[in-house]
């Protein structure tokens, strides 16, 4: 090998060695870069935020305080701040459409499911399902009550439903069928005392019997309400209202014109053995000295179980909130933690978060168990804006039919036609 060839080989080897060293260096640098993300890629902790929260007196004064404590616990755990405003249910909910767009409303507010559809239609609240992680923890129907067009628009915290409330001193054997209830009621009815008394000409209070036969307002599809499918002027709806009419006209159980005030007073005074009402009324009856019992409304033989409307109280998130992620975190925290405190503060708030019911004290509560049984057999009150066009025709149909002013088929036919016409006018 000549001198020139030796020099060429040396140069090639040198280049190869330098490349190998450079390659090792580059590999080391790459590994270091992989271990240390760029500054603009590093996740920074969020700054604490301040949320405005509204609580309604719907749950009761003591329960408002319980809700406040849970909300403040979330703030303490997360480092965020909450400014809480408490007030009247109707005033605050009716103020939402004005306050939120004006920038004077809350980030999070307590609401009732029958307001949800209107607030969503008005662009006031936002869907939360993308950040909602514990849907399986709620009782069946609870989340449906806050769902419109497949969008979850809030977190329910408590339910309210009508059931059979009775005086244990007068009713020693609780009726399980309506025929049993009718028999017991007739035995206990004498003079100005009644076995069963409730606002029978009311669409709201008599709906359980209407639904037992298959009557309904709008058809629930599993994902929303089909407003083109109305269940008033149907064979099932007619049979349901006819049954209600006959409780007065045929069975003579009570006058057709019983008001809520009369029902309340008679039961408080021990002059009515049984009524149909909600859990919110039970504390006042106990204060009046009544030994209160609760049971599901008895089944109608060969027909089915009465299904009263169920309403749900919960929390929604403002579409105008600048901190929606934190707001959704808060409502989810409230839903998972406020059920027991609300019930213990006011037994009118039926828990809907399933793990709450595993608490030993609540699991052994027979009164709560009765409300839960009725809740399982109920229809959620439609939460869409179209429901506003149902109340007047439905109320008129039940009132006139029960009082015998018009026959049942005609009353329901006219009601359904008016609803259809009204809904067509808003399309």
Residue 12 resides in a domain: no
Residue 28 resides in a domain: no
Residue 179 resides in a domain: yes
Residue 6 resides in a domain: no
Question: By C-alpha distance, which of 129, 140, 85, 127 is closest to 110?
Answer: 85
> Are residues 113 and 176 located together in one domain of the fold?
no
Cross-strand pairs, 197 = none
Instruction: Output the CA torsion 13→18→19→20 (10° steps).
Output: 90
> Are residues 130 and 73 located together in one domain of the fold?
yes
- CA distance to 114, 171, 318, per residue, from 304 (Å): 26, 23, 41
Number of folded domains that form the chain: 2
Proportion of the chain above pLDDT 70, given as a percent: 89
- 346-393 pLDDT, tens digit per residue, is 999 999 998 888 887 888 899 999 999 999 999 989 999 999 999 999
Residue 353 resides in a domain: yes
**pLDDT band of 44, cuts 50, 70, 90:** low
Cross-strand pairs, 13 = none
**pLDDT band of 4, cuts 50, 70, 90:** very low
> The pTM is what?
0.85
> Are residues 183 and 138 located together in one domain of the fold?
no
Residue range of the domain that includes 70 = 50-160+311-380
CATH code of the domain covering residue 126: 3.40.190.10
> Are residues 180 and 152 located together in one domain of the fold?
no
The overall average pLDDT reported for the chain is: 89
In this predicted structure, what is the pLDDT of residue 198? 97
Residue found by looking up tokens 């339910």 in the block: 159
**pLDDT band of 40, cuts 50, 70, 90:** very low
135-145 in b/e form (b: 16+ CB < 10 A) is eeebbebbbbb
Residue 40: exposed, middle, or buried by beta-carbon count in 10 A (0-12, 13-18, 19+)? exposed
- 180-237 pLDDT, tens digit per residue, is 999 999 999 999 999 999 999 999 999 999 999 999 999 988 878 999 999 999 999 9
412 or 360: which carries more pLDDT confidence? Answer: 412
> Are residues 115 and 138 located together in one domain of the fold?
yes
Q: What is the mean pLDDT of residues 129-149?
A: 89
In this predicted structure, what is the pLDDT of residue 390? 97
> Are residues 292 and 337 located together in one domain of the fold?
no
Of 11-15, 134-138, 172-176, 371-375, the least confident: 11-15
> Are residues 134 and 240 located together in one domain of the fold?
no
In this predicted structure, what is the pLDDT of residue 79? 96
242-251 LR contacts (CB < 8 Å, sep 24+): 242/408, 243/209, 243/212, 243/213, 243/300, 244/200, 244/206, 244/209, 244/210, 244/398, 244/401, 244/402, 245/401, 245/402, 245/404, 245/408, 247/182, 247/200, 247/209, 248/200, 248/402, 249/404, 251/182, 251/186
How far apart CA 237 and CA 211 sit, in angstroms, is 8
Proportion of the chain above pLDDT 90, given as a percent: 81
């Amino acid at each position: 090998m000549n001198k020139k060839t030796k020099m060429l080989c040396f140069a090639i080897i040198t280049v190869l060695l330098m490349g190998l060293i450079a390659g090792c260096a580059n590999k080391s640098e790459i590994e270091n870069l992989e271990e240390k993300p760029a500054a603009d890629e590093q996740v920074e902790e969020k700054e604490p935020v301040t949320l405005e929260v509204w609580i309604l007196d719907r749950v009761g004064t003591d329960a408002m305080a319980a809700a406040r404590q849970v909300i403040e616990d979330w703030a303490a755990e997360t480092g965020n701040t909450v400014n809480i405003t408490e007030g009247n249910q109707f005033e605050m909910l009716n103020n939402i459409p004005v306050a939120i767009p004006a920038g004077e409303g809350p980030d999070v507010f307590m609401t009732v499911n029958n307001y949800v559809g209107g607030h969503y239609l008005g662009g006031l609240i936002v869907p939360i399902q993308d950040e909602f992680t514990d849907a399986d923890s709620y009782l069946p129907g609870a989340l449906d009550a806050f769902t419109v067009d497949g969008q979850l628009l809030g977190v329910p915290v408590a339910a309210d439903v009508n059931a059979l409330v009775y005086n244990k001193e007068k009713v020693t054997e609780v009726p399980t069928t309506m025929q049993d209830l009718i028999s017991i009621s007739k035995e206990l009815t004498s003079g100005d005392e009644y076995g069963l008394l409730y606002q029978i000409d009311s669409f709201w209070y008599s709906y359980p019997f209407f639904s037992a036969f298959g009557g309904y307002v709008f058809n629930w599809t599993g994902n929303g309400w089909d407003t083109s499918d109305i269940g008033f002027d149907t064979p099932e709806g007619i049979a349901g209202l006819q049954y209600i009419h006959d409780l007065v006209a045929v069975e003579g159980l009570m006058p057709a014109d019983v008001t809520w005030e009369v029902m309340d007073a008679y039961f408080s005074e021990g002059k009515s053995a049984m009524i149909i009402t909600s859990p919110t009324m039970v504390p006042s009856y106990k204060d009046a000295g009544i030994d209160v019992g609760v049971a599901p409304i008895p089944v109608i033989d060969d027909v089915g179980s009465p299904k009263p409307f169920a309403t749900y109280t919960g929390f929604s998130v403002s579409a105008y909130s600048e901190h929606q992620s934190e707001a959704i975190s808060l409502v989810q925290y409230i839903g998972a933690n406020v059920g027991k405190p609300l019930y213990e503060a006011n037994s009118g708030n039926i828990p809907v978060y399933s793990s709450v019911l595993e608490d030993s004290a609540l699991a052994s509560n027979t009164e709560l168990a009765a409300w839960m049984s009725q809740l399982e057999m109920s229809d959620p009150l439609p939460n869409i804006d179209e429901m506003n066009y149902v109340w007047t025709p439905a109320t008129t149909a039940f009132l006139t039919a029960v009082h015998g002013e018009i026959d049942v088929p005609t009353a329901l036919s006219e009601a359904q036609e008016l609803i259809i016409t009204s809904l067509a006018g808003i399309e």
